[in-house]
Amino acid sequence: MRELIEFLRTEGVDESLLKAAEDWRTKQAPVEESVAHRIPVPCYPYYGKDVWEEAISALLSGEHLLLVGPKATGKNDLAENLSALFGRPQWDVSFYINTDAASLIGTDTLSKGEVSLRHGPIARCALEGGFGVLDEINMAKNESLAVLHATLDFRRCIDVPGYDRIPLSDATRFIATMNYGYAGTRDLNEALASRFLVIDMPPITEENLMKLLRREFPELKEAYARQFMSLFTDIRKKCDSAEISTKALDLRGLLASIRLMSQGLPAIRALEMGIVNKCFDDFERQLVEDVVRGRIPENLTGREAFGN
């Protein structure tokens, strides 16, 4: 937590917002021991000062957030960082076409001859003052999300016929994510979108990607860090122009490949595992392979990239 705040300071995030977030945290109901392990410790800090400021302001004002943007813009990463900064337990809910009210709120279960409600993630998040990450919310059918209307607007409660009414704890916030910007994405209806403040997530800047690489891999030679950054930009450009799908636009895969190199695996083989092999279409695979070979020397060893 201290470390995260220090990071935000060095990134130049408005000091008064950081102070307000800290005040907010101390004023909330304490997190129950049984869910304290759900307060995330982010693996990566999110880079992007403006987005941080917008997100912190919205959450402090009691709003829920919708993070909209193409793949690999750090939406989940930011959500996790926000739960950490605000010191709240996090519940993740992945949405898919069959997501229904019961899987979100809970189901009746029979125990010792009595029917009781077994709380789903939304209900637990409401009760424990958690941050709920509604991941890829646009993938669910809009009808099945209608149960969230009362939860997400000024009523701040879970109100479904047949269930007890559950009010949201003051600390509870929802952060939804939605992939948008490339072909094949579904839309979100107006009623739902109106219940969020929306951040249009920008792709990580080259400068911030360099910072991320330098921080994650201090031993990686600068010249190679720059090549990996440019490789990612090349792949993004191919996605932007719809030459390839977004399968290879995988920053987590790139980071994993570089980690393999740090263990000594040759660069090209590591990048095949982390990026190229994610394309299952031969033509696309060849295009991505060409991009990789255009940037990374054929015989670059892991040891050489890491300068030892």
Ligand X SMILES: Nc1ncnc2c1ncn2[C@@H]1O[C@H](COP(=O)(O)OP(=O)(O)O)[C@@H](O)[C@H]1O
- Would you tell me which residues interact with Mg ion (CB under 5 A)? 75-76
Query: Of 24 and 182, which has the nearer Cβ to Mg ion?
Result: 182
| Residue environment code for 173-193, b if the CB has 16+ CB neighbours within 10 A, otherwise e | bbbbbbbbbeeebeebeeebb
Q: Least CB distance from residue 179 to ligand X, whole Å?
A: 7
Q: Is 24 in the site for ligand X (CB under 6 A)?
A: no
Q: Least CB distance from residue 118 to ligand X, whole Å?
A: 29
Place of tokens 């809009």: 142
What residues does 166 pair with on adjacent strands?
158
Q: Least CB distance from residue 249 to ligand X, whole Å?
A: 9
Q: Least CB distance from residue 147 to ligand X, whole Å?
A: 24
- Among 21, 47, 152, 248, the residue binding ligand X under the rule CB under 6 A is 47
What residues does 119 pair with on adjacent strands?
106
What residues does 109 pair with on adjacent strands?
116
H-helix or E-strand containing 78? helix 75-86
Residues 170-189 that bind ligand X (CB under 6 A): 177
Number of residues that bind ligand X (CB under 6 A): 18
User: Whose CA is closest to 39, among 175, 131, 171?
Assistant: 131
Q: Is 163 in the site for ligand X (CB under 6 A)?
A: no
Query: Of 165 and 252, which has the nearer Cβ to ligand X?
Result: 252
- Stretch touching ligand X by CB under 6 A, among 15-23, 40-48, 230-238, 299-307: 40-48
For residue 194, give the amino acid letter: S
- 71 binding partner (options Mg ion, ligand X, none; Cβ < 5 to 8 Å by kind): ligand X
CA–CA separation, 112 and 74 (whole Å): 45
- Among 59, 176, 212, 296, the residue binding ligand X under the rule CB under 6 A is 212
Q: Which residues, including other chains, have CB under 8 Å from residue 78's CB and lie 6 or more apart?
A: 46, 48, 51, 52, 55, 67, 201
Q: Least CB distance from residue 76 to Mg ion, whole Å?
A: 4
User: Whose CA is closest to 71, among 197, 249, 256, 218?
Assistant: 249
- The answer to whether the CB of 175 falls within 8 A of the CB of 134 is yes
Nearest residue to ligand X, scored by beta-carbon proximity: 74
Residue 54 is given by DSSP the state: H
- Retrieve residue 158's tokens: 């879970």
Q: Is 64 in the site for ligand X (CB under 6 A)?
A: no
- Among 64, 75, 124, 173, the residue binding ligand X under the rule CB under 6 A is 75
| Centroid of chain to Cα 159 | 28
Query: Of 52 and 95, which has the nearer Cβ to Mg ion?
Result: 95
Q: Least CB distance from residue 150 to ligand X, whole Å?
A: 27
- Among 13, 21, 66, 72, the residue binding ligand X under the rule CB under 6 A is 72
CA angle 252-253-254, nearest 5°?
Answer: 90
Place of tokens 């839309």: 187
Q: Least CB distance from residue 282 to ligand X, whole Å?
A: 25
Residues 247-276 that bind ligand X (CB under 6 A): 251-252, 255
- Among 57, 76, 142, 144, the residue binding ligand X under the rule CB under 6 A is 76
Q: Is 245 in the site for ligand X (CB under 6 A)?
A: no
Q: Is 44 in the site for ligand X (CB under 6 A)?
A: yes
In this structure, what are the phi and psi dihedrals at residue 305, rounded to the nearest 5 degrees?
Answer: -60, -35
- The answer to whether the CB of 276 falls within 8 A of the CB of 212 is no
Which residues of the chain form contacts with ligand X (CB under 6 A)?
A: 44, 46-48, 71-77, 177, 204, 208, 212, 251-252, 255
